[in-house]
A and B are shown apart, each in its own frame.
Chain A
Amino acid sequence: MADIGVEIRVNGRVRRARVEPRLTLVDFLRERCQLTGTHVGCEHGVCGACTVLLTPADAEADADESGREGPHGQAVRSCLVFAVQADGGEVTTIEGIAGRPAQPEAGQLSVVQAAFREHHALQCGFCTPGFVISVTAFLRDQPDPTDAQIRDALSGNLCRCTGYQGILAAVRAAADNLRADNLRADNLRAAGAQDDSRQSTIQPTQETR
């Protein structure tokens, strides 16, 4: 079957390729972009290991009104999207979650990643990229979740070795830390809005995306 040209922005970088229509997005990421952090587990949408953030080309402008930093896009199974369906869209993988090279926080773990490390939320690590992506999207949309909401949000990702207690603890901690960070950022922004002279000190962090 005829190959099709696709152009997908992955972690901020435009990737072009000609692909077979049956190539899944996860295989595109791993084999064409050499981004092997996204793992292939069941390949039919059950395990969640391949979860990435996707903003399709046809997505309605999904402006984040808070003005906060952070990856956008919706958490999806990259084994249940063909690369051709993501053409023109934007993808963030686990490689795009930590501070990027050009950013002041280059190489720093994200709040969610740091919480996973701190709370022993991984053992072999196979499922971890999927969990981190899912939790990143979940806490962006639900900053102050109840334990029941956390359990529900984690139900789409399978871990076969640590058990889930460490992961639950990590999500609770990440939620607390993110709320504290957001509060600080909001206060800073409010202060900046009142005082034009301070605006310039904030702008660099707002441009980091």
Chain B
Amino acid sequence: MKPASFAYHAPASAKEAVELLAELGDGAKVIAGGQSLIPMLALRLAAFEHLIDLRDVPGVRGISGRGGAVFGGAVFGGAVFGGAVWIGAGTTQAAIGRSALVAAKVPLLARATPLIGHFQIRNRGTIGGSLAHAEAAAEYPAVALTLDAVIETMSPRGERAIPASEFFTGIWSTALEPDELLTGVVFRVRAGRAGFAIEEFSRRPGDFAVAGAAIAIELDDTNEPSPSNLLDPKNPQNTPNLQDSPEPQDPPKPRDPWDARVSRCAIGLFGLGPTPLRASAVEANLIGSLAGDLTAAARAREIGQAAVAGLDSVPSDLHGPAAYRKRVGAALVATAWLRAIREALGEEAEAANG
């Protein structure tokens, strides 16, 4: 027993929890799985007079789909065609790893999960704890940032929805107010052709990453026929138009699916700064590019090098100096990029089926 003494509270509702937070102030800390907090308490890196356990708080656990174009429209900046997936803050990493809904709808999150700690840690650790702890080398904060997730919170003043891009403010620091409770996370579901990959390097399995990269790529199918709607006779593009077409006898020429362009892409970096980061400038340059031009290993290496080129506060420690971390980061971005773009183009599926 190494932690300093504290008083323990197990409120029965989120409202009660945030009232306690407001009343107890800086001396109080929320505990869920405790897999980051308890080591810090045991090492006396942190000490709190009060711990507020979420174990009895209903409504902050579970995984559910939120369909339609309505929910999250405001925070996601427009219609959400593929719907969204809500994950309660107290949901364990193990439950997320087992979820068929997450695997199908938020594949990047599913693929990141086995990289967290060890299975014994994932049985207790929660997504809300991981985000609120905001370790810069951790997987879930980087995935939330890469997927433009929205973090839902509650305080005595009401509820807030915070975009991940505004949530991580510094080393182990977030936009959460002292009396604010993280209640859930919403991930937009990518409709259409998309590819996702996460890569990290750590000295031993389960350690925090020396560096890591998460990639999400979406291809624009709205202007480019995909192989599936080429075969659909109801697709107007497949019906020769006698009046407009000079050569109506020609069947429509199947377009190469590789003609698709990158409509959105996100390059997330972790372990390479005080917070998880996005290589926004590189992303902006890639949007609109032909996806088929981005599948060569040499091109992926360029993307990797560009993604880490502008980093100016890469940590240096006994696991590696900043220059080494940047080289590792560039290589991981390149590897993840190739996997993601090939998945978006359907290559990975073909390889798996073939």
Interface residues of A in 64-105 (CB under 8 A from B): 74-77, 79-82, 84-85
Q: A21-B51, A82-B34 are in contact. Are A156 and B124 (CB under 8 A)?
A: no
Q: Which of B2, B5, B119, B124 contacts A81 (CB 8 A)?
A: B124
A78 — nearest CB in chain B belongs to which residue?
B120
Q: Is A198 at the interface (CB under 8 A from chain B)?
A: no
Q: A43-B2, A76-B124 are in contact. Are A58 and B56 (CB under 8 A)?
A: yes
Contacts of A153 in B (CB 8 A): 119
Q: What are 10 A-B contacts with C-beta separation under 8 Å?
A: A1-B5, A22-B1, A22-B41, A23-B1, A45-B35, A75-B123, A77-B121, A80-B34, A85-B34, A85-B55
Contacts of B114 in A (CB 8 A): 152
Q: How distant is the Cα of A2 from the Cα of B34 in the complex, in angstroms?
A: 20
Contacts of A27 in B (CB 8 A): 1
Per-residue CB contact flags for chain A residues 107-145 toward chain B (1 = under 8 Å, else 0) read 000000000000000000000000000100110000000
Q: Which of B3, B5, B53, B118 contacts A156 (CB 8 A)?
A: B118
* Chain B nearest CB, measured from A45 CB (Å): 5
Q: How distant is the Cα of A85 from the Cα of B255 in the complex, in angstroms?
A: 59
Q: Is B42 at the interface (CB under 8 A from chain A)?
A: yes
Q: Is A38 at the interface (CB under 8 A from chain B)?
A: no
Q: A22-B1, A58-B55, A155-B205 are in contact. Are A51 and B120 (CB under 8 A)?
A: yes
Flag if B4 contacts A22 (CB, 8 Å).
Answer: yes
Q: How distant is the Cα of A134 from the Cα of B123 in the complex, in angstroms?
A: 12
Q: Is B65 at the interface (CB under 8 A from chain A)?
A: no
Of all A-B residue pairs in the complex, the 5 with the closest CB atoms, nearest first, are: A156-B118, A21-B8, A44-B39, A74-B123, A155-B205
B92 — nearest CB in chain A belongs to which residue?
A74
A2 — nearest CB in chain B belongs to which residue?
B7
Flag if B6 contacts A76 (CB, 8 Å).
Answer: no
* Chain A nearest CB, measured from B113 CB (Å): 13
Flag if B120 contacts A43 (CB, 8 Å).
Answer: no
Q: Is B38 at the interface (CB under 8 A from chain A)?
A: yes
Flag if A24 contacts B1 (CB, 8 Å).
Answer: yes
Q: A74-B94, A80-B34, A80-B35 are in contact. Are A56 and B5 (CB under 8 A)?
A: no
* Chain A nearest CB, measured from B58 CB (Å): 9
Q: How distant is the Cα of A67 from the Cα of B251 in the complex, in angstroms?
A: 59
Contacts of B56 in A (CB 8 A): 58
If A76-B124, A80-B38 are given as contacts, then 10 extra A-B residue pairs at C-beta distance below 8 Å, sorted by A number, are: A21-B51, A44-B39, A75-B120, A77-B121, A79-B38, A80-B39, A81-B34, A81-B124, A137-B119, A155-B206
Flag if A44 contacts B42 (CB, 8 Å).
Answer: yes
Flag if A82 contacts B38 (CB, 8 Å).
Answer: yes
* Chain B nearest CB, measured from A157 CB (Å): 8
